[in-house]
Amino acid sequence: MTRVPHGKVTADSRGTHPAHRTGTSDAPRTRILIVGGGYVGLYTALRLQKKLAAELKSGATEIVVVTPEPYMTYQPFLPEAAAGSISPRHVVVPLRRVLKHCRIVIGEARSIQHAKKTVTLTTLATDEEGTGPIELTYDELVLAPGSISRTLPVPGLADYGIGFKTVEEAIGLRNHVIEQMDIASSTRDPAVRSAALTFVFVGGGYAGVEALGELEDMARYAARYYHNVSAEDMKWILVEASDRILPEVGPEMGKYTVSELRRRNIDVRLETRLDSCEDRVAVLDDGSRFPTRTLVWTAGVKPHPILAASDLPLNERGRLKCTAELAVDGVEHAWAAGDAAAVPDVTSEEGKECAPNAQHAVRQARVLGDNIVAALKGQPRTNYAHKYAGSVASLGLHKGVAHVYGRKLKGYPAWFMHRVYHLSRVPTFNRKARVLAEWTLSGLFKREIVSLGSLEHPRAEFELAAGGERPKESS
């Protein structure tokens, strides 16, 4: 293991080891280490950049962001990216461009010893160097690793399931759906055709419902360009274990969403679970069996594994116990927000926690950044207090539901509100302008329905030319 000592000056042309560097004085700089480059990681770093501009310039403070990807993904736009309404590159925000005064380390945090103020991490270079993980020290720790998909021990899920948390998964799913339509159009086997045109989504939360709504809308549009595939040939199935979908928009809007989906011939199965998907057959606990080549798993999330690999206090759900000031409860110099943090909701009755969603994460990051600065300067800190404003969800082009500040909207008004809200939330003016331009152009021209699945195997043609074999379809 390579250890980067506290305050020691090191040189590394690739920036693999983000060590302390001294400024004009011999005093070691204060290092703020942010684990995660999602909502909380990005917005907290932006806030700290602004509030500590003088300290960063003088070298008295250093902000290091450790993240597995060099970009932040704006996840509410994933369904539209999958449907082709937004370009994939406009769904992500490049961290190096936005966080100009932070050090970005592309790597994975493996364990945390807060008692020693060290994080063990691996980077893209550690395997190449053969030196093992790096042990990085810090003064203030911000844990914002987000969450990962919560899977269940369903037979066949690991082999055939498709996730929907990353931009790669969203674009891969779009390519996959169009490829299934191509297979159905060209096969002579009725069983292959039926399986190719059957799409099963498990999970009735935001991710599942929005992904299903946008992709069904896209596939319905694409079908007009196939001579032997129609929208009526496709079978779309939504499986939800509870008795309603989209609980965030309220019971009334949830019921409307079920009615809207069923009106589009989408089979919504409430209080139903997936028992198995072995051999590309989705078996439900109500006895139904659906041969399918597409099974999308969006049945919830769970805390990132790095939390369990730390010596910080966790609650019964595996999230960090935090105070209303967004500090880890009972621990000095450790902070958290977003999906990783169990933050008490001071605007509601005692005992309730803030929901782990983007709305709270973005607002918590602002307070978190201010409180870290206050702690460094010995100033009073403030509690995070934000009453949940409501929710919006897209169900496809010009279709949506919303429950905002007590008002309930559906159809086009809800869809429009969905776009306006998320356009205001996506980081940087650059991204806002690009997304708005794409929406404007998509209203003037027809959708693109091209599958670029070959991007997932960019060396396939060369390998074939060099005497290899063409890679087989993985899903």
Task: Delimit the domains of the chain by residue range.
Answer: 30-149+302-377, 151-299, 389-445
Is the per-residue pLDDT at 181 higher than 50?
yes
Proportion of the chain above pLDDT 70, given as a percent: 91
Give the pLDDT score at 127: 78
**Average pLDDT of 315-334?**
95
Q: What is the pTM of this model?
A: 0.86
**Which stretch of 53-62, 126-135, 441-450 has the lowest confidence by average pLDDT?**
441-450
Cβ pair 138, 330 in contact under 8 A? no
User: pLDDT-derived band of residue 225, with 50, 70 and 90 as boundaries?
Assistant: very high
Give the pLDDT score at 6: 47
User: pLDDT-derived band of residue 233, with 50, 70 and 90 as boundaries?
Assistant: very high
CA pair distance 186, 180, nearest whole angstrom: 10
Give the pLDDT score at 383: 95
Give the pLDDT score at 28: 66
In order of 21, 25, 55, 311, the CA distances from 377 in angstroms are: 21, 19, 11, 26
Is the per-residue pLDDT at 22 higher than 70?
no
**Which stretch of 25-34, 54-63, 445-454 has the lowest confidence by average pLDDT?**
445-454
Give the pLDDT score at 24: 41
E strand intervals along 30-162: 30-35, 61-67, 71-73, 92-94, 103-113, 118-123, 134-137, 140-143, 147-149, 161-162
Give the pLDDT score at 15: 38
CA pair distance 209, 337, nearest whole angstrom: 26
Give the pLDDT score at 425: 86
Other residues' Cβ atoms within 10 Å of the Cβ of residue 381? 16
Supply the mean pLDDT for the chain. 88
Give the pLDDT score at 1: 55
Chain length of the chain: 475
CA pair distance 85, 438, nearest whole angstrom: 7
**Which stretch of 64-73, 130-139, 333-342, 462-471 has the lowest confidence by average pLDDT?**
462-471
Is the per-residue pLDDT at 202 higher than 70?
yes
pLDDT digits (tens, 9 = 90+) for 388-419: 677 889 998 889 999 887 788 999 999 999 99
Q: Examine domains 30-149+302-377 and 151-299 and report if their fold is the same.
A: yes
CA pair distance 164, 82, nearest whole angstrom: 10
pLDDT digits (tens, 9 = 90+) for 123-145: 988 878 887 898 999 999 999 99
Q: What is the DSSP string of 341-361?
A: EE-B-TTSSTT-B--SSHHHH
CATH assignment of 30-149+302-377, given 3.50.50.60, 3.30.420.40, 2.60.40.10, 3.40.50.10320?
3.50.50.60
DSSP-H helix ranges across 358-427: 358-376, 412-425
Helices 206-222 and 167-186 cross at an angle (nearest 10°) of 40
pLDDT digits (tens, 9 = 90+) for 353-366: 888 888 888 899 99
> Which of 246-250, 260-264, 301-305 has maximum average pLDDT?
260-264
Q: What is the CATH number of domain 151-299?
A: 3.50.50.100
Give the pLDDT score at 455: 66
Find residue 4's DSSP bridge partners: 136
**Which stretch of 89-103, 281-295, 460-474 has the lowest confidence by average pLDDT?**
460-474
DSSP state of 285: T
Question: What residue type is 193 in one-letter code?
Answer: R
pLDDT digits (tens, 9 = 90+) for 337-346: 999 999 998 8
> Which of 22-36, 89-103, 241-255, 438-452 has maximum average pLDDT?
89-103
DSSP-H helix ranges across 230-293: 251-263
Is the per-residue pLDDT at 351 higher than 80?
no
Cβ pair 90, 434 in contact under 8 A? yes
